[in-house]
């Protein structure tokens, strides 16, 4: 598939992911540079907010003499990208659905109290007016404890007719813990930036059929584990819609997360199934190659507490293999 058809191909999947995602969900989209650029407008149309683009630098060894620059007329390509998206959260206020920054400001203005008091309400010198209620791009998500103080002050001192303030159901204000869940999780480990220098998968990690690699673009567990640690907690659910060899499921299992993975191609499915069974200490692959070839419905598996059980895929069924790329969402 050429990049021209990627946006149309991915849109029904992105639509379904958007329906299932929560404010805490992060979406990681692996692809070529032009592939990601082509699909990006679909993500934004479905309220996915772009956070960053990460380059996987596979190193000079990835060239391996296979690039005929005289014919291709370009430098050898040794990279692909992994784009990070989070949900663009909108909350109700005054009959409108507003992004968090606008919602926070609107709710305070409804109280009739001046913005300058927000600093006193939070117990800060000027962080509230300078960061939490600014209109510019320097807006900060208020920490849950500061948000709780704002809510308490607003509902105690704001116009009685407008209460409750900072509520999404019209009955109760959001609590500190509910506010904390209004943005995606993120933990940055020391020394990691947006360029990931890691060679392609080799050695015992590389799955082969005889001398031939099973999957031409098997992702390193090191990178998959890194992004899972960065945007999820132990026990969270990971969704790997285009499983391939189900590297995200293996990484999730290693990190004590639960993972649902789907793969439509029988050959990849069989290898992934065996890989997960071995990871669980069950060397016997309970599916059969004959069954896989005769049943081309998308398959999914869940890894939870060292156990593999069947599950259903919630994304639309695919008419064929995924284009070059991978998407994973977590937590759900």
Domain boundaries, the chain: 3-89+185-330, 90-180
Helix or strand (DSSP H, E) at 39: helix 33-45
As assigned by CATH, the class of the 3-89+185-330 domain is: alpha beta
Helix-helix angle 247-254:221-231, to 10 degrees: 60
- Residue 61 is predicted with a pLDDT of 86
Q: Which CATH number fits domain 90-180: 1.10.405, 3.10.450, 1.10.260, 1.10.357?
A: 1.10.260
User: Cβ neighbours of residue 104 under 8 Å, at least 6 residues apart?
Assistant: 132, 133, 142, 166
Evaluate whether 3-89+185-330 and 90-180 have a shared fold.
no
Give the tens place of pLDDT for each residue, 279-332. Answer: 877 544 333 333 333 343 344 444 333 333 333 333 333 344 454 455 667 665
How many CB atoms neighbour CB 196 within 10 A?
Answer: 19
Per-residue pLDDT of the chain (332 residues; tens, 9 = 90+): 678 899 999 999 999 999 999 999 999 999 999 999 999 999 999 999 999 999 999 998 888 666 788 888 989 999 999 999 999 999 999 899 999 999 999 999 999 999 999 999 999 999 999 999 999 999 999 999 999 999 999 999 999 999 999 999 999 999 999 999 999 999 999 999 999 999 999 999 999 999 999 998 899 999 999 999 999 999 999 999 999 999 999 999 999 999 999 999 999 999 999 999 988 775 443 333 333 333 433 444 443 333 333 333 333 333 444 544 556 676 65
- Residue 332 is predicted with a pLDDT of 56
CB 16 within 8 A of CB 327: no
Q: Which residue has the tokens 């390193």?
A: 220
CB 233 within 8 A of CB 275: no
Q: Is the bond leading into 164 cis (omega within 30 degrees of zero)?
A: yes
Q: Which residue has the tokens 């990835």?
A: 62
Rounded to the nearest angstrom, the gap between the alpha carbon of residue 327 and the centroid of all alpha carbons in its chain is 8
CA 216, CA 100: separation in Å to the nearest integer?
A: 42
CA 70, CA 74: separation in Å to the nearest integer?
A: 8
Distance set, CA 234 to CA 177, 182, 229 (Å): 18, 19, 9
């Amino acid at each position: 598939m050429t990049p021209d058809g990627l946006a149309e191909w991915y849109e029904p999947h992105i639509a379904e992911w958007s329906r299932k995602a929560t404010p805490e969900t992060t979406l990681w989209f692996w692809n070529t540079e032009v592939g990601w650029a082509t699909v990006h407008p679909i993500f934004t149309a479905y309220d996915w907010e772009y956070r960053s683009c990460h380059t996987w630098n596979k190193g000079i060894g990835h060239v391996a003499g296979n690039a005929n620059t005289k014919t291709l007329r370009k430098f050898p390509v040794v990279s692909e990208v992994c784009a990070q998206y989070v949900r663009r959260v909108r909350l109700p206020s005054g009959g409108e659905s507003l992004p968090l920054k606008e919602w926070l400001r609107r709710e305070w203005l409804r109280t009739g109290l001046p913005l300058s008091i927000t600093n006193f309400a939070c117990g800060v010198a000027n962080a509230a007016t300078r960061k939490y209620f600014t209109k510019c791009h320097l807006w900060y998500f208020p920490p849950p404890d500061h948000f709780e103080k704002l809510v308490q002050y607003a509902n105690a001192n704001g116009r009685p007719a407008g209460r409750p303030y900072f509520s999404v159901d019209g009955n109760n204000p959001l609590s500190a813990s509910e506010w904390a869940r209004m943005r995606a999780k993120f933990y940055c480990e020391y020394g990691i930036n947006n360029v990931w220098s890691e060679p392609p998968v080799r050695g015992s990690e590389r799955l082969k059929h005889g001398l031939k690699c099973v999957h031409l673009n098997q992702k390193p567990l090191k990178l998959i584990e890194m992004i899972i640690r960065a945007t999820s907690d132990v026990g969270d659910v990971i969704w790997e819609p285009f499983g391939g060899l189900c590297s995200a499921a293996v990484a999730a299992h290693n990190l004590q997360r639960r993972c649902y993975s789907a793969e439509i191609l029988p050959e990849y499915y069989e290898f992934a199934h065996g890989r997960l069974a071995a990871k669980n200490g069950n060397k016997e692959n309970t599916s059969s190659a004959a069954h896989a070839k005769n049943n081309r419905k998308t398959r999914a598996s869940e890894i939870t507490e060292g156990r593999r059980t069947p599950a259903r895929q919630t994304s639309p069924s695919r008419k064929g293999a995924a284009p070059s790329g991978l998407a994973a969402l977590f937590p759900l």
